[in-house]
A and B are shown apart, each in its own frame.
Chain A
Amino acid sequence: MKRNDWILITVVLAVSAIFLGIHFSRPQQKDGMAEVTIDGEVFGSWPISEDRTVEIGDGNRLVIEDGKADMVWADCPDKLCVNQKAISREGESIICLPNKVVISIVGGEEREVDAVT
């Protein structure tokens, strides 16, 4: 291992630490919305504060429960989206690549104001 190797690794880890820090410093959005897009187009969004089951097309199923959104079923071959943990923070997302479905948390009203000021 040369010195440059260490520099490279340190830079990469530092960048990821910064992003992780930003991500986890965001509070769980009690008033957020779970927004679903299919192939980039918004399919719908629902408040994560209300328990609900949503059928996304015929290939994915979203369940909102306990303030979290989770992909509970999908017909894709790898099921990576289903195995992923439930999300609740702004910026988090569950993506089903084969079906081009994205579930993401979008901020509620409070967040909107923050963005402006």
Chain B
Amino acid sequence: MKNRAAYFGVFTALALIFSYLESLIPIRFGIPGIKLGLANLLTVILLYKRNAREALLLSVVRVILSGFLFGNLFSIVYSLAGGILSLFVMAVLKGTGRFSVMGVSAAGGVFHNMGQLLVAMAAVETYRVGYYFPVLLIAGVVTGLLIGTVAEQVLKRLGNFRFES
């Protein structure tokens, strides 16, 4: 039982480091606000190696901690909304068994952006986000696929390793 907590701590620490590393890369995607979401790699891996509940906890803890450490507090709400919606969708898709890790991750990327967009629309009371919508969809798919590809490779190499006791 206590090893599960230790492993979770490792995942959280890694997620924070990935988050930090990513913030060091100057904006390379052209569209401001779009990022790779590298820390989500750990969330996806945990989703597959453990379960949705722990992946959700990782997501929330990481967003809050990295918000305090590296980002601005303002962005925490948006990231939380995106992260929770994204994880919910990923868990559902994974549960159907009809998608591979890459497809699940791609959907995760898309819905992470959609969650953030919805909260932004509510916060600023505007529906005029027409231009952002398609761009965020595409970025979500692309980054989701990238993360999913890496996740699949990691999971393959982890084999039957279990993060417990």
- Which residue numbers of A lie inside 8 Å of B, CB to CB? 1-2, 4-5, 8-9, 12-13, 15-20, 23, 37, 39-40, 77-78, 80, 83-84, 91-93, 95, 97-98, 100-102, 104
CB distance from B158 to the nearest CB of A (A): 20
Interface residues on chain B, size class: 20 to 34
Known: A2-B100, A40-B125, A92-B130. 4 other contacts (CB 8 A): A1-B102, A15-B137, A39-B125, A104-B128
- Of B78, B106, B130, B131, which contacts A9 at CB under 8 A? B106
Q: Does B100 lie within 8 Å of A13, measured CB to CB? A: no
Contacts between the two chains (Cβ within 8 Å), count: 98
The reply on B7 being an interface residue by CB < 8 A is no
| Residues of A contacting B130 in the complex (Cβ-Cβ under 8 angstroms) | 19, 23, 91-93
- Of B103, B129, B135, B138, which contacts A4 at CB under 8 A? B103
* Interface of chain B, main secondary structure: helix
| Residues of A contacting B124 in the complex (Cβ-Cβ under 8 angstroms) | 37, 39-40, 95, 97, 100-102
**Bound CA–CA A79/B137 (angstroms):** 22
- Of A8, A77, A93, which contacts B106 at CB under 8 A? A8
The reply on B120 being an interface residue by CB < 8 A is yes
Q: Does B141 lie within 8 Å of A83, measured CB to CB? A: no
- Which residue numbers of B lie inside 8 Å of A, CB to CB? 27, 32-33, 72, 74, 78, 98-100, 102-103, 106-107, 110, 120, 123-126, 128-135, 137-138, 140-141, 145
CB distance from B95 to the nearest CB of A (A): 13
| Residues of B contacting A97 in the complex (Cβ-Cβ under 8 angstroms) | 74, 78, 120, 123-124
**Bound CA–CA A4/B85 (angstroms):** 21
CB distance from B135 to the nearest CB of A (A): 8
